[in-house]
């Protein structure tokens, strides 16, 4: 008989441990009780689902969304997978459907794969807003687009023209030769250079490809400067390229003589802006993007807009926005980072 | 199967109820009830469906994995086989093949992967840990190599729906039907066949098993082939459910499967474990994850809790056995059975 006594003890001990663990977690978590109320008259409840957690870019967009939610008196919580894969996001979308939240704001890891789960959430009356990375337009209610290709192309030309005083030779340091986005931007920049009288004295002398590889971009920058001794400026419409070019320039005699701009992230470029290698560069502001997504989500969930083309809504300090074709809301022109504002960003 | 004299002397109901497996089942029920009462929306209509859809691949692969671990071996390549079958399904379908034809080829690939593992382990005699660490990297490498960083996301809707639909008006996903069939097959194989008794014997002592007439190599080979095929099937389900064939699909699932198998009371040293405990272990982890997600607890915390539970489930029985062996014996205990008791205590 006596042997059996340890079995029930083991059973009881396991149950106790686990229930203690569960209870502890349940009570530790203040946000936990928010879910159920949802649309039942209380404040709006929203969930923010970035591509993955621990990514400074998305930390910034979530902070923007949280600030907007606070102003709206809405509740928002961020959840997300550790790695940016679509299957990991599906569980979180399912959870939002279970919780019956008012809105889900997500950056999609796959345009197609999430659609079934999103459809299920929408049939549970969750408004679904994508930002940063869209799904197929028919899957979601709205997409908050950070920038258009035209806007990105125009912004970079504007910056380089400003920095070289409107005349001289420039070159482009791109990613891979077949990179779709970069090629579209380069095409638009070439057309704009040819057509816009403001840029009549600027000559594009070369386009080179660093393949989004740090070392190769570095070498290509060196080659550009050797092959074109009169070069006044470089545009690098890729975050890898601009950082590598800045690293080369900051240690070379061309520092301060050859201007550099393009698309970069503040954390990669901070050093070069602070030491004077780079005057300014562009990207969108993920904080504004997150905030706009939260305002759009609230407008949809409150029934202020239905998401049709032409609907317009207020987005706090960001101003008024209108829904465009395919349910797309455009944040606006790319944001310019320079020595004055770079300290405000951490991504 | 360190059954003791006392286990056999106890009444049948006690032998059934007071086991490690029943403890896991009781804990699963307890956590489920706790979550239903205390976690908002856990009692909602979608919970059971999403829960079963989430754990289906783990449930499926846990079946062959249990048998493999009972023989004292391990298969770490299961998630890579899932990834490979996922990619093959996508690539073949993308090239114009119908889903059933592409799925059949993906299953064949799973069979080939399992056969390679089985051949190296059973007939060449290499340790399964080393072999399947190698093939974990090999199969994953092929999968990622085939598709690169791209994904194939166009699948025939009627087939994709099969992976997410439920049985009639119930909340049970359709995938539970093939799972139920496989479960019956594996229960019969493990618990009601000579092949299954051979599996336990191999786990306890494979040399002794060999001399009692068990074909050790063939048994192991068959188990790894089964594991390959079932993993490929899980990969196909995974692909259709998420509508996405990617080289990195299901990365890390092997550890979830093994954690559940161990939690379910299977000894990592082989020779001990039962399928109902394992299935309860999978459901337990699924219920905990689902409840914690509803409470917006981050994945890291969920991992910590599951990890602690696993460690506790491994340590507790040993600690209790150790303490009970230290306690003074009751006078009623027959003196001559003492050595058996000590051996039994140490084994539990």
Q: Establish whether domains A36-147+286-332 and A149-283 are of one fold.
A: yes
Phi/psi class of residue A203: alpha, beta or left (left: φ > 0; alpha: ψ in -120 to 50)?
Answer: beta
User: Residue B145: inside a domain, yes or no?
Assistant: yes
| Residue A310: other Cβ atoms inside 10 A | 9
Give, for B80, the enclosing helix (H) or strand (E): helix B78-94
ipTM (interface pTM) = 0.76
**CA–centroid distance for A61 within its chain:** 7
Q: Write out residues 135-164 of B within 8 Å (CB-CB) of A.
A: 151, 153-154, 160, 164
B308 interface with A at CB cutoff 8 Å? yes
Nearest CA in chain B to A97: B46
A275 interface with B at CB cutoff 8 Å? no
User: Residue B320: inside a domain, yes or no?
Assistant: no
- Residues B30, A18: C-beta atoms closer than 8 Å: yes
Sign of CA dihedral A195, A199, A205, A209: negative
The domain segmentation of chain A, as residue ranges, is 36-147+286-332, 149-283
- Per DSSP (E only), the strands in A102-253 are 103-106, 127-131, 142-145, 168-174, 202-209, 231-236
Token duo for residue B97? 């093949």
The pLDDT of residue B73 is 97
Nearest CA in chain B to A4: B18
- Using a CB-CB cut-off of 8 Å, the residues of chain B touching A25 are 292, 295, 297, 301, 305
Give, for A267, the enclosing helix (H) or strand (E): helix A266-274
A21 interface with B at CB cutoff 8 Å? yes
User: Are the beta carbons of A89 and B243 closer than 8 angstroms?
Assistant: no
Q: What is the mean pLDDT of residues B32-36?
A: 95
- Low-confidence stretches of chain A (pLDDT < 50) are 1-6, 8-12, 14-16, 19-40
Please tell me the CATH superfamily of domain A149-283, with its number.
Response regulator (3.40.50.2300)
How do residues B175-209 score in pLDDT, each as one tens digit?
999 999 999 999 999 999 999 999 999 999 999 99
- Residues B295, A26: C-beta atoms closer than 8 Å: yes
In DSSP terms, A45 is beta-bridged to A75
Q: What is d(CA A346, CA B160) in angstroms, rounded to the nearest whole number?
A: 41
Q: What is d(CA A15, CA A251) in angstroms, rounded to the nearest whole number?
A: 63
User: Residue B335: inside a domain, yes or no?
Assistant: no
**Of A5, A21, A115, Cβ closest to residue B305:** A21
**Of B160, B308, B317, Cβ closest to residue A10:** B317
The pLDDT of residue B335 is 45
- Using a CB-CB cut-off of 8 Å, the residues of chain A touching B42 are 98
CB proximity list for A43: less than 8 A, separation 6 or greater: A73, A74, A75
Q: What is the DSSP string of B33-69?
A: HHHHHHSTTTTSTTHHHHHHHHHHHHHHHHHHHHHHH
Q: Write out residues 208-247 of B within 8 Å (CB-CB) of A.
A: 238, 241-244, 246
Token duo for residue A253? 């005699």
User: Residue B308: inside a domain, yes or no?
Assistant: no
Token duo for residue A51? 């591509």
Q: What is d(CA B87, CA B236) in angstroms, rounded to the nearest whole number?
A: 9
The pLDDT of residue B231 is 98
CATH at residue B165: 1.10.3470
- Residues B27, A91: C-beta atoms closer than 8 Å: no
- Using a CB-CB cut-off of 8 Å, the residues of chain A touching B47 are 98
- Residues A98, B41: C-beta atoms closer than 8 Å: yes
CB proximity list for B156: less than 8 A, separation 6 or greater: B93, B98, B99
How do residues A101-130 score in pLDDT, each as one tens digit?
999 999 998 888 888 899 999 999 999 999
A94 interface with B at CB cutoff 8 Å? yes
Q: What is the DSSP string of B2-38?
A: ---HHHHHS-HHHHHHSSHHHHHHHHHHHHHHHHHHH
If one counts the domains in chain B, the total is 1
- Using a CB-CB cut-off of 8 Å, the residues of chain B touching A22 are 31, 34-35, 288, 291, 305
User: Are the beta carbons of B96 and B264 closer than 8 angstroms?
Assistant: no
- Using a CB-CB cut-off of 8 Å, the residues of chain A touching B30 are 15, 18-19
- Among A270, A81, A269, smallest CA distance to B251 is for A81
- Residue A65: helix, strand or coil by DSSP? helix
CB proximity list for A336: less than 8 A, separation 6 or greater: A155, A159, A280, A281, A282
- Residues B153, A6: C-beta atoms closer than 8 Å: no
- Residues B297, A25: C-beta atoms closer than 8 Å: yes
- Residues A35, B330: C-beta atoms closer than 8 Å: no
- Using a CB-CB cut-off of 8 Å, the residues of chain B touching A100 are 41, 44
- Phi and psi at B94, nearest 5°, equal -65, -30
pLDDT band at B338, cuts 50/70/90? very low
A31 interface with B at CB cutoff 8 Å? yes
**CA–centroid distance for B249 within its chain:** 18
- Residues A31, B296: C-beta atoms closer than 8 Å: yes
The strand pair at A335-338 and A280-283 is best described as antiparallel
User: Residue B305: inside a domain, yes or no?
Assistant: no
Token duo for residue B33? 């009830």
Phi/psi class of residue A326: alpha, beta or left (left: φ > 0; alpha: ψ in -120 to 50)?
Answer: left
The pLDDT of residue B4 is 56
- Residues B294, A99: C-beta atoms closer than 8 Å: yes
How do residues B100-159 score in pLDDT, each as one tens digit?
999 999 999 999 999 999 999 999 999 999 999 999 999 999 999 998 877 888 888 888
The pLDDT of residue B7 is 54
**Of B316, B321, B330, Cβ closest to residue A14:** B316
- Among A266, A291, A341, A284, smallest CA distance to A64 is for A291
The pLDDT of residue B10 is 67
Sign of CA dihedral A74, A77, A80, A84: positive
User: Residue B192: inside a domain, yes or no?
Assistant: yes
Q: Please report how the helices B47-70 and A86-99 are oriented relative to each other, as an axis angle in degrees rounded to 10.
A: 140
Domain encompassing residue B108: 13-297
Give the CATH architecture of domain A36-147+286-332.
3-Layer(aba) Sandwich (3.40)
Task: Please provide the size of chain A in residues.
Answer: 347
User: Chain A interface, mutation test: which of B3, B24, B41, most A Cβ atoms within 10 Å?
Assistant: B41
User: Residue B344: inside a domain, yes or no?
Assistant: no
User: Residue B18: inside a domain, yes or no?
Assistant: yes
- Residues B50, A113: C-beta atoms closer than 8 Å: no
**CA–centroid distance for A177 within its chain:** 24
Task: Please provide the size of chain B in residues.
Answer: 348
């Amino acid at each position: 008989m006596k042997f059996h006594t340890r079995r029930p003890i083991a059973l009881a001990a396991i149950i106790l441990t686990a229930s203690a663990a569960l209870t502890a977690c349940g009570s530790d978590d203040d946000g936990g009780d928010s879910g159920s109320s949802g649309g039942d008259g209380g404040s709006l409840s929203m969930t923010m689902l970035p591509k993955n957690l621990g990514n400074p870019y998305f930390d910034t967009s979530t902070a923007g969304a949280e600030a907007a939610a606070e102003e709206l008196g809405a509740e928002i919580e961020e959840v997300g997978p550790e790695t940016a894969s679509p299957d990991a996001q599906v569980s979180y979308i399912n959870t939002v459907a279970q919780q019956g939240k008012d809105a889900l704001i997500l950056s999609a890891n796959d345009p197609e794969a999430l659609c079934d789960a999103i459809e299920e959430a929408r049939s549970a009356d969750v408004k679904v807003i994508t930002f940063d990375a869209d799904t197929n337009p028919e899957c979601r209610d709205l997409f908050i687009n950070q920038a258009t290709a035209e806007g990105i192309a125009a912004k970079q030309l504007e910056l380089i023209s400003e920095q070289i005083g409107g005349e001289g030779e420039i070159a482009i340091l791109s990613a891979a030769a077949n990179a779709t986005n970069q090629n579209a931007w380069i095409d638009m920049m070439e057309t704009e250079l040819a057509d816009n009288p403001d840029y009549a004295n600027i000559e594009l002398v070369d386009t080179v490809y660093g393949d989004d590889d740090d070392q190769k971009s570095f070498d290509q920058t060196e080659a550009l400067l050797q092959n074109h001794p009169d070069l006044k400026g470089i545009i690098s419409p890729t975050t890898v390229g601009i950082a590598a070019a800045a690293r080369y320039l900051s240690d070379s005699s061309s520092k301060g003589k050859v201007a550099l701009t393009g698309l970069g992230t503040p954390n990669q470029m901070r050093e070069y802006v602070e030491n004077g290698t780079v005057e300014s560069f562009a990207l969108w502001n993920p904080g504004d993007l997150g905030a706009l997504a939260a305002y759009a989500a609230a407008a949809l969930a409150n029934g202020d807009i239905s998401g049709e083309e032409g609907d317009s809504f207020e987005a706090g300090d960001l101003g008024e926005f209108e829904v465009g074709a395919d349910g797309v809301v455009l944040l606006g022109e790319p944001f310019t980072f320079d020595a004055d504002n770079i300290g405000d960003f951490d991504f | 199967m360190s059954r003791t004299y006392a286990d056999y002397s106890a009444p049948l109901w006690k032998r059934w109820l007071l086991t490690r497996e029943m403890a896991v089942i009781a804990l699963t029920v307890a956590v489920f009830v706790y979550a239903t009462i205390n976690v908002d929306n856990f009692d909602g209509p979608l919970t059971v469906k999403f829960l079963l859809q989430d754990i289906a691949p783990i449930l499926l692969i846990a079946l062959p994995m249990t048998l493999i671990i009972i023989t004292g071996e391990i298969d770490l390549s299961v998630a890579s086989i899932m990834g490979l079958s996922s990619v093959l399904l996508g690539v073949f379908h993308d090239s114009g093949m119908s889903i059933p034809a592409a799925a059949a080829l993906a299953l064949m690939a799973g069979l080939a992967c399992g056969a390679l593992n089985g051949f190296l382990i059973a007939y060449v005699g290499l340790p399964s840990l080393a072999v399947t660490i190698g093939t974990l990297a090999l199969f994953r490498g092929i999968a990622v190599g085939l598709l690169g960083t791209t994904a194939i996301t166009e699948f025939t809707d009627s087939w994709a729906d099969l992976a997410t639909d439920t049985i009639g008006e119930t909340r049970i996903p359709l995938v539970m039907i093939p799972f139920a069939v496989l479960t019956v097959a594996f229960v019969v194989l493990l618990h009601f066949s000579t092949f299954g008794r051979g599996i336990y014997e191999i786990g306890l002592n494979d040399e002794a098993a060999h001399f009692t007439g068990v074909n050790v190599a063939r048994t192991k080979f068959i188990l790894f082939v089964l594991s390959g095929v079932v993993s490929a099937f899980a990969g196909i389900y995974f692909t259709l459910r998420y509508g996405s064939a990617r080289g990195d699909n299901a990365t890390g699932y092997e550890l979830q499967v093994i954690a559940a198998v161990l939690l379910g009371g299977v000894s990592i040293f082989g020779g001990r474990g039962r399928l109902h405990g394992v299935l309860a272990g999978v459901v337990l982890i699924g219920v905990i994850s689902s409840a914690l997600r509803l409470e917006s607890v981050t994945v890291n915390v969920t991992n910590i809790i599951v990890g602690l539970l696993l460690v506790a489930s491994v340590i507790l029985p040993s600690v209790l056995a150790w303490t009970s062996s230290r306690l003074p014996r009751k006078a009623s205990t027959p003196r001559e059975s003492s050595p058996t008791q000590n051996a039994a205590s140490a084994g539990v």
